[in-house]
Structure 1
Amino acid sequence: KGYRIESKPKKGYLFVDFPESLDLYGIKEGLKTRLLGRRLHLVEEVDSTNAWAIREALKGAEEGEIFLAEAQTQGRGRMGRKWFSPKGRNIYLSIILKPEMPPQKVPLLNLGASLALAYLLEKLGLEPELKWPNDVLLKGKKVSGILSEAYAEPDRVNFVVLGIGLNVNTKEEDFPEDIRNLATSLLIETGKEFSRNELVKKILEELEGVYFLLKENSQGVLSKWCSYAKVEGRMVEVESFGELIEGVAQGIDEDGALLVKTQKGIKKILAGDVKVKGWGNYY
């Protein structure tokens, strides 16, 4: 309550009186979801929202519970990297999911989450691109990343914690020098400071729609993801488990793996870092 939110056609909700703190009431009010966010947890600071959510999931937390923090002291990205997590500027949230899917299908959740972010950014008037397996880009720079961590048995998934980091109101000069040319934020791209409470709501709504669709039509989600990635037919260089793979991307298979045509044939890549020729460098 007490926030002035300016709504603009095709631009979404823009926060006009800064600073704004995350607020559970502000997020819950008007939230249009059936599953995600029925229970919300918020702290000022945590080691990592993913680590926090995993701890709670192991204690029996329910599907759809959301864990939010104003800052992370040990924010995590893929491949053991750190995620830049300053206080009060961005969105750091983790979600407990309990999908009825075989473990090999879990990577689809990464793709689904990045697709949900793309839908949101497009509705804000931006032109997102997706990079396998979990990055969301604006003008070639990372604005969001996804980290999923699954606890599974050979034939079933017990739970998945899906972490989302979205750079919202971070200024260019606030990014560390080593990622300043690789990262961006909604503020940098639009010149506007956004309401993070409104954005959290929109993330949950978009993500729930994609999550439910994955259960019914995973191929439809994959096709839509590919339309934002525009990687098929392009030269790629992939570093995967110490191996460097070069070839032409053939698209994504039904499990969310990247298929690359090399001189030795088609290579199925489950995880790795990708550079797409003509797209510049990524972190």
Structure 2
Amino acid sequence: MQVVNMAQKAYVEHYIQGDPDLAKLPVLSAAAPFKVGGRKNDPASFVEVEKGQLTFRNAADLYLYPNTLVVMKVSGKEVKEWLECSAGQFNQIDPASSKPQSLINWDGFRTYNFDVIDGVNYQIDVTQPARYDGECQMIHPQAERIKHLTFNGKPVDPQATFLVATNNYRAYGGKFAGTGESHIAFASPDENRSVLAAWIGAQSKKEGAIHPAADNNWRLAPIHSNTPLDIRFETSPGDKAAAFIKEKAQYPMRQVATDDIGFAIYQLDLSK
């Protein structure tokens, strides 16, 4: 998602140069994971890009669908509500329970709706109930999972205006706050994966290689509890996934089991 967001953001920033209406607006980018274990039925279905020369096939693996890039004009309030719907990806965690609790809401939320919006920073408080269901219909109006939403180090102004790069499926679907035809700033004829491939090519030519790394603009909010928590999530059982988690994980994690389907089950420490 990080690479997709970097490519989309760069594309839009270049596209709006000189535009009297759009050039001064801050650009954000939204991307979701497409290949993350199917619908909790395929532990081999994860993106894996081997070290070495990248190809268009790699870009297509990172971005499975032939969507085209579309840019939305949204308010700060709509950015927050967009993220509130995305936060439905997670189950609510009971901070008073020591029983195993599954973090990922596999049954009620599709991973391709879990948009990460890059360009802002935020935390997701999973002790709160989800504000929206998997179809972005409000179910808990008083709940707020998105905390500490900032832009350039300052709280996001609900009245501020942002551009958000996304895809035509998300843009025209109208499911998320800030989407729908009335919010479209411009629609590009270019496919998102072509934008990604072009960005990879340009960066490789400029730098000799690309070294993608998550900027960690979002995280799960720390959970402070007097009860020892057992929070779990499922992922690829492969050695490469295990090595990546050991080196790059944002939170202390350890594998505790493998489920009947073959997914590795990890326990997360969200106390910090």
Give the alignment's TM-score, normalised by structure 2: 0.29
Considering Cα pairs closer than 8 Å and 6+ residues apart, tell me whether 1 or 2 has the greater RCO: 2
Higher strand share: 1
Q: TM-score, normalised by structure 1?
A: 0.28
